[in-house]
Structure 1
Amino acid sequence: MTVNESQLQAKRPVSAALAGPYGHPFHPILVTVPIGAWVASLAFDIASHVVDDPAFLTQGSEWLIAVGVIGALLAAMVGFLDLFAIPSGTPAFRTGLVHMALNLGVTVAYALNFLWRYGTYTDGGSVGAGRLALSAVSLAVLGVSGFLGGKLAYRYGVRVADESTQAEGYAAGGSGRAS
């Protein structure tokens, strides 16, 4: 397989119905759910230390973690399909494996964090230092994984339309229709 064939293979979905059609992958939009939920959860954790009655923040943080875990599992399923489109043995595939492993590790850490918290904040206290630290470290690892995900899309062009398709958006007098 030549480099061009490898690149083209990585741009096409394994299953358009499950992973999103060509040029419109589902994985990038699905990852916004866990990222947003987990960032908000950490903000709630920190805020629980500065308000007089932190019960609503600790409970909210716990459930944001759960929403993030569910969202991460959905994003992982679609991301796994995108990984199958990348030819094995390539730098892009190796990057995808590290990206996946980090994300799975973060998801497990957050699932454990949820279980560690579940039902323990009935006294209405602020989030404990250990739980807050686990969230902060998990989010930092998620940032590293996100960097690798960006490398997959923006450097290696995984699931990004090829240049001839992209050129349609810059053609003078083109139809201007969005696809």
Structure 2
Amino acid sequence: MVAEATNQNEAVTSWMDTPPRSPLLRHYSAKLVANMPWLDKLSAPLQSWTNGLFGKPKDVTYRVKDFLAGVWFGHPLHPVLVTIPIGAWTSTFVFDLAWLANEDDHAMARSADMMLWLGLAGATGSAATGLANWVDTDGQEQRTGMLHAVLNGGITVLNLSSALLRLTGQRRTAIALASTAYAMVIYSSYIGGELAYSDGIGMNRAIPEGGPDNFVAVMDEKDLAEGKLTRVEVEGIAAVLVKDGSTINAIAATCSHLGGPLDEGSYEDGVVYCPWHNSGFRMCDGCVVNSPAVYAQPTFAVRVREGKIELRRLEHA
């Protein structure tokens, strides 16, 4: 690859803010987001308000966030609920086209209206769960998520207006609004896909592979201090150890939420808290104690032999 000559006084754009070169759809979509700094002015107060609403991990109100994030479900709840408005509004679009082909077909009109209202109901749950996933993002991902939310808000307003116009008999105008909203749904869904699959929001960051099937020595037992989070490498996967009395526990050191180093976090009452977003995991079994993480940490069997601490990975990420 030929090196490019640059002016030393020229401002350098971080790779994190540089859009992908291909394909063109991703390139121009990312440039669009980059050219919308005004979204940050919406993100900051919304994030502050949401964090204030949910509170801190040990607050009772935080359980609402855990529920919406999908801790009980085992992965984010948002992808499940978004199928309701997308599927319902797709049906509305099809039924509306059928009615336009035969305006005497009242069954098609009723079906379109029913699906429109179902989509609006589903959009409420989808928005709440999406907010719970988005609130812990920052940078470009936060801005992209804000654009996704603004688009979805506009879609909801258009579809609600369409639903009300149908009640007054202005069906053709209502169909025009719903069709415009559906076109926006397609692009907003694309943005949602970028957040999930490109930016990795909601994905499991704990390494899916690596780690031994047999016990491997990782350190001397005498070097493990009581209550201190200690990082070790175990055949391709980082683990964090903690000694609590006579018990030694070990789980994956890479937080399943966004990859934070758990060994740099805090340990309290058998729970390790990620230093990045405060996700909590039980050290004894890797289970999620509180969101934003929803995936449990891989765990290790621990044994001490001849003064060495040995680990063996127990399950898939």
Structure 1: how far apart are the matches of 2:314 and 2:108? Answer: 50
Counterpart of 2:209 (choices 127, 146, 167) is 167
In 1, Cα distance between equivalents of 2:193 and 2:117: 25
Does the 8 Å CA contact 1:95/1:152 hold for their aligned counterparts?
yes
Tell me by how many angstroms 1:86 deviates: 0.8
Task: Report the counterpart of residue 75 of structure 1 in structure 2.
Answer: 126
Partners of 1:107 and 1:150 lie apart in 2 by 19
Partner of 1:112: 161
Which aligned segments of 4 or more residues in structure 1 are displaced greater than 4 angstroms? 174-177
Q: State the AA in 1 paired with 2:156.
A: T
**For 2:129 and 2:179, how far apart are their aligned partners in 1?**
26
Q: What is the rounded CA distance, in whole Å, between the counterparts of 1:117 and 1:144 in structure 2?
A: 25
Q: Secondary structure at the match of 1:68?
A: helix
Match runs of 1:55-70 below 5 Å: 55-70=106-121
Q: Distance in 2 between the 1:37 and 1:175 partners?
A: 42
TM-score when normalising by structure 1: 0.76
What is residue 183 of structure 2 aligned with on the other side? 140
How far apart are residue 83 of structure 1 and its match? 1.0
- Structure 2 distance, partners of 1:52, 1:153, is 41
Q: Equivalences for 1:146-161 in 2 at 5 Å?
A: 146-161=189-204
Q: When you count helix as a share of all residues, which structure comes out higher? A: 1
How far apart, in 2, do the equivalents of 1:68 and 1:19 lie? 21
Judge conservation of contact 2:163–2:174 (CA < 8 Å) in 1. Answer: no
1:20 has 2:63 as partner: no
Deviation at 1:176, TM superposition (A): 8.5
Shift of 1:143: 0.9
* 1:102 alignment counterpart: 151
User: Are residues 25 and 65 of structure 1, via their aligned partners in 2, closer, same or farther at CA, if it must alter by over 3 Å?
Assistant: same
- How far has the Cα of 1:119 moved from its partner? 5.0
TM normalised by structure 2 equals 0.44
Pairwise CA distance, 1:53: 3.6
Deviation at 1:23, TM superposition (A): 5.8
Q: Is the 8 A contact 1:23 1:161 kept in 2?
A: no
Q: State the one-letter code of the partner of 2:149.
A: M
Structure 2 CA distance for partners of 1:93 and 1:52, relative to 1, 3 Å:
closer
CA contact (8 A) 1:69 1:111 kept: yes
In structure 2, C-alpha distance between the alignment counterparts of 1:97 and 1:57, rounded to whole Å = 35
> Which residue of 2 is the match for residue 9 of structure 1?
none
- Report the aligned-residue RMSD: 2.9
Higher relative contact order at CA 8 Å, sep ≥6: structure 1 or structure 2? 1
Q: 2: distance between equivalents of 1:114 and 1:68?
A: 11
Greater strand fraction, Structure 1 or Structure 2: 2
Note the residue ranges of structure 2 that are not aligned, 5 or more in a row. Answer: 1-15, 17-61, 214-312
The structure with more radius of gyration:
2
Give the Cα–Cα distance (whole angstroms) in 2 for the partners of residues 47 and 176 of structure 1. 51
Distance 1:136 1:52 in 2: 17
Structure-2 separation of matches of 1:30 and 1:73: 9
Quote the Cα distance in structure 2 between the aligned partners of 1:114 and 1:52.
17
Give the 5 Å matches for 1:45-56.
45-51=96-102, 53-56=104-107
Structure 1: distance between partners of 2:116 and 2:175: 12
The alpha carbon displacement at 1:175 in A equals 8.3
CA positional deviation for 1:138: 0.5
Q: Contact 1:23 / 1:160 at 8 angstroms: preserved in 2? A: no
Q: AA paired with 1:167? A: E
Amino acid at match of 1:152: L
| Structure 1 gap ranges (5+) | 4-13, 122-126
